[in-house]
Amino acid sequence: MRVAVAYKWTSDPQEASVGTEGSIDWSRAKAGLSQYDPVAIELARRLADETGGEVVGVTAGAAAAGSPIACKTALSRGVDRLVVVTDDSLGGAGTTAVAEVLAAAVRHIGDVDLVVTGDSSMDIGAKMVPTVLAGLLGWPAVADVTAVTSGGGGVHVEREAPGGVEVLEITGSAVVAATADAAVPRVPGMRDLLAAGKKPVEHLQLSDLGLPDASSQVTVRASSRPDTKVRKGQMIDAADPEAAAGELVSALRLSGAL
């Protein structure tokens, strides 16, 4: 089975700082593999091993996504080879633009049986790239997937459903988005890192896929810091736990919260 895993090289908003006017400063946020993508790679690796297939990593981003460190990071976690599409216009590109590039790259790879993605990207976190990607490919998609195995001439996909787990059988190619804890990703060792440097990486530009620049259809008119509710901010001295508990409960009753 040829399993593609779509991943993102990006930064964590937790490490970004926000100015008073809502401008975001990413300079102190280190770029890395998006938080949940190792889970997707692990699922893809296990499925490829089960079926005697390969894992092809695919990503779309600005130049940094094609850097040696970015490629090695993905390859050291169990990906066999990479297809990396870079263009300056892809830095900060929206969901649909990214999905269009990924769809073209998946078609370029050819004979892909399954695309696996992580739960969400750590920067935008829309959880929509896999579903738009599936729409563009005309393939079925399932999100919040906890396990994938081969079966029934295709794949068996377990996903969270209200009150339990549902098992779906999908025939033909599909896109699945894993939950954040669908698998425990392997931790690459020195040997994996060395081997990663020898694995093939295909670097593509948008023109190689017949795609135009990813022009943004969104105009930002204003930015701001989020309004935080004005809170009382009343600290209760907890040196004496019982007295503190009593004070808290009275305060909550007095304010009508209890």
Partner 1 sequence: MSTDTWIVVGGQPGIANLVEAARSLDASVTAAVVGPRSLADSVAASGVDRVVWFGEDREAPVEAYATSVAAEVAAAEPRVLLGGRHPAERVLLGAVAASLRAVVLTGAQSVSIEGADVVVVQAVFGGIAEQTVAVTGPLALVLDGGAVPPLCDPVPVEEVDAAPMAMTVIENRPSEFEVIDLAAAPRVVCVGRGLKAEKDLTLIESLAGAAKAEVACSRPLAEGLSWLGKDRYVGSSGQHIAPELYIAVGISGQLQHMAGVRDAVTIVAINSDPEAPIFAEADYGLVGDLYTLVPAITDALS
Please state the closest distance from residue 2 (CB atom) to partner 1, in A.
18
Count the Cβ atoms, other than its own, within 10 Å of residue 6.
27
Non-local CB neighbours of 239 within 8 Å, separated by 6+ positions = none
Please state the closest distance from residue 114 (CB atom) to partner 1, in A.
13
End-to-end CA distance of the chain: 58
HSE value, Cβ hemisphere, 13 Å, CA-based, for 53: 20
Count the Cβ atoms, other than its own, within 10 Å of residue 15.
13
**Nearer to partner 1 (CB atom), residue 33 or residue 98:** 98
**Nearer to partner 1 (CB atom), residue 190 or residue 227:** 227
**Nearer to partner 1 (CB atom), residue 195 or residue 251:** 251
Please state the closest distance from residue 201 (CB atom) to partner 1, in A.
28
**Nearer to partner 1 (CB atom), residue 79 or residue 143:** 143
Please state the closest distance from residue 215 (CB atom) to partner 1, in A.
11
Non-local CB neighbours of 226 within 8 Å, separated by 6+ positions = none
- Specify whether the CB–CB gap between 76 and 192 falls below 8 A: yes
**Nearer to partner 1 (CB atom), residue 59 or residue 121:** 121
Count the Cβ atoms, other than its own, within 10 Å of residue 195.
14
Please state the closest distance from residue 204 (CB atom) to partner 1, in A.
21
- Distance, CA of 203 to CA of 82 (rounded, Å): 8
**Nearer to partner 1 (CB atom), residue 54 or residue 166:** 166
Please state the closest distance from residue 68 (CB atom) to partner 1, in A.
27
- Distance, CA of 125 to CA of 34 (rounded, Å): 10
Tokens of 112: 């892909």
- Specify whether the CB–CB gap between 239 and 250 falls below 8 A: no
